[in-house]
Structures are given as C-alpha cells and as structure tokens.
Amino acid sequence: MSLLKNVSSLKELFQELREDDGKLVVIEFMHSFCYACQMVKPKFRRMMPNYAKKVKFCRVELADVPNAVDSFDLGKIPTFVAFHQKEEVARYTGHDERDLATFIAEGLKEKRRRTAQAQKLLDPRKAVLGRRRRSQRARGLASAGTNL
C-alpha cells in the first residue's frame, strides 16, 4: 500500500478529508511542470515513512483539479496544507526539507492541542479540576505576594 494518495478530483479530496481516521491529513498541491514541485517530491517521499502512523498524505496535481486553487486559496506552489478534522491547522509553501519537516511537526502539535482541548470539553471533571488548580495557584500567589 502506498503512503501517498493521488487525488484526481475535488470531490475525492473532500472525501479524503472526511475519512481522516483521526490522523493529520497533509495535502501537497503541485504541478508536474513546476521545477520546485519536482525538487520537493523526493524529499517529501523520504519523510512519509517517519510519519505514516500519524499522518495521511495526499497529492493534488493542479492540472487535474484546477478548481482546487480557489477552494484552498493557493497563491504559490508547491503548497502543503495540513488538516485535522476538516479544519486547516498549518500551511507551508516551498521546497526546503527542514521547513517541510517543521511544518508537519507543527501540524501534529496543533492536532494534539486540539484533541486535548476537545477531550477536556467532553470530560467535565478535567475542566473543574483545571479551574480548581488555577484558583489554588492564584490564591497561593496572592498570599505569597510582596507588599510595596
């Protein structure tokens, strides 16, 4: 099974975003005639195995899906956009391998933050405990304050 899903229509792309399996979805928007896109291709492929358990990778050839330019507000290519639960969490335009790795790491970090935040909302005990701890810290800081 390939780590990269080539998407050939906008409908198929939205379907991939809906079926994220709890993973971060990273979409590469590129053109086959774009030199920078061709430069980043092998770099992107080398990175995929490192993130295979946490990230779902898709590639959109803009010659096949031209309406993606407007739908995803693409200015330059190659552009990589990360989604979590159908919401954009990170975006990177360029072909530098280190910046691309940083982009994926930031997307994963944002995904974890949003997941933790959603879990807090679902578990009222955690929200109450969090408020209690904050108020205890505030009281401790107020009593330990210095007089001017």
Amino acid 114: pLDDT: 85
Question: Which sign, positive or negative, has the C-alpha torsion 54, 103, 35, 65?
Answer: positive
Q: How far apart are CA 110 and CA 85, in angstroms?
A: 12
**What tokens does 22 get?**
């709890």
Amino acid 31: pLDDT: 92
C-alpha dihedral (20, 40, 10, 52), degrees to nearest 10: -10
Pair 78, 47: CB distance under 8 Å: no
Q: In which residue ranges of the chain is pLDDT below 70?
A: 1, 123-148
> 44, exposed or middle or buried, with CB in 10 Å at 0-12, 13-18, 19+?
buried
Amino acid 107: pLDDT: 92
Amino acid 125: pLDDT: 61
Q: What is the DSSP letter of 25?
A: E
- Residues β-bridged to residue 60: 7, 29
Q: How many Cβ atoms are within 10 Å of 10's Cβ, its own excluded?
A: 15
Amino acid 121: pLDDT: 74
SS3 of 91, please? strand
Pair 20, 114: CB distance under 8 Å: no
For the chain, which domains are there? 4-142 (3.40.30.10)
Amino acid 146: pLDDT: 45
